[in-house]
């Protein structure tokens, strides 16, 4: 099950489609959907989590807390819609496309992908692009 939660005025209009997409991503990666909670919030909300739980005093677009057990994916994915909107401008894309990228990014971390090194970051970006194409077919 995927839940969409809102700590700000932001709201997604296609939750069912995104649920189907994320579940297909997980199946493609050899995992099963347990429970994923997406929490959409503002910069201040996410910054406080970043400081409290990760000891990072910086703004970020996404933080994911992974509760996966074996092949059953579970976790909480916090997304700053303010940061996503700013990144969309910086990367010359739409808010919707950048939001989808961040959403799948968090899930790919649950599947074991990292993005700390340059090569890991490149691999992660390629996977994001691959799965963003899959979303177009849903």
pLDDT (tens digit per residue) in 34-43: 999 999 999 9
Q: Is the pLDDT of residue 7 over 80?
A: yes
100 is in an annotated binding site: no
Query: What integer pLDDT is reported at residue 108 of this predicted model?
Result: 96
19 is in an annotated binding site: no
105 is in an annotated binding site: yes
The average pLDDT across 54-59 equals 89
Model pTM?
Answer: 0.92
pLDDT (tens digit per residue) in 103-133: 999 999 999 999 989 999 999 999 999 999 9
Q: Give a three-class secondary structure readout of the chain.
A: CEEEEECCCCCCCCHHHHHHHHHHHHHHCCCEEEEEEEEEECHHHHHHHHHHHHCCCCCCCEEEEECCECCEEEEEEEEEHHHHHHHHHHCCCCHHHHHHHHHHHHHHHHCCCCCCCHHHHHHHHHHHHHHHHHHHCC
Q: Is 3.40.390.30 the CATH number for 2-136? A: yes
């Amino acid at each position: 099950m995927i839940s969409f939660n809102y700590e700000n005025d932001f709201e997604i209009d296609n939750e069912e489609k995104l649920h189907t997409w994320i579940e297909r991503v997980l199946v493609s990666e050899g995992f099963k959907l347990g429970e994923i909670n997406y929490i959409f919030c503002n910069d201040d909300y996410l910054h406080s989590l970043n400081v409290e739980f990760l000891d990072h005093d910086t703004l970020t677009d996404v933080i994911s807390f992974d509760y996966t057990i074996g092949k059953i994916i579970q976790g909480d994915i916090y997304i700053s819609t303010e940061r996503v909107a700013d990144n969309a401008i910086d990367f010359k894309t739409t808010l919707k496309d950048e939001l989808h990228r961040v959403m799948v990014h968090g899930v790919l971390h649950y599947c074991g992908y990292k993005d700390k090194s340059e090569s890991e970051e490149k691999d992660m970006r390629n996977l994001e692009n691959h799965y963003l194409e899959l979303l177009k077919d849903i």
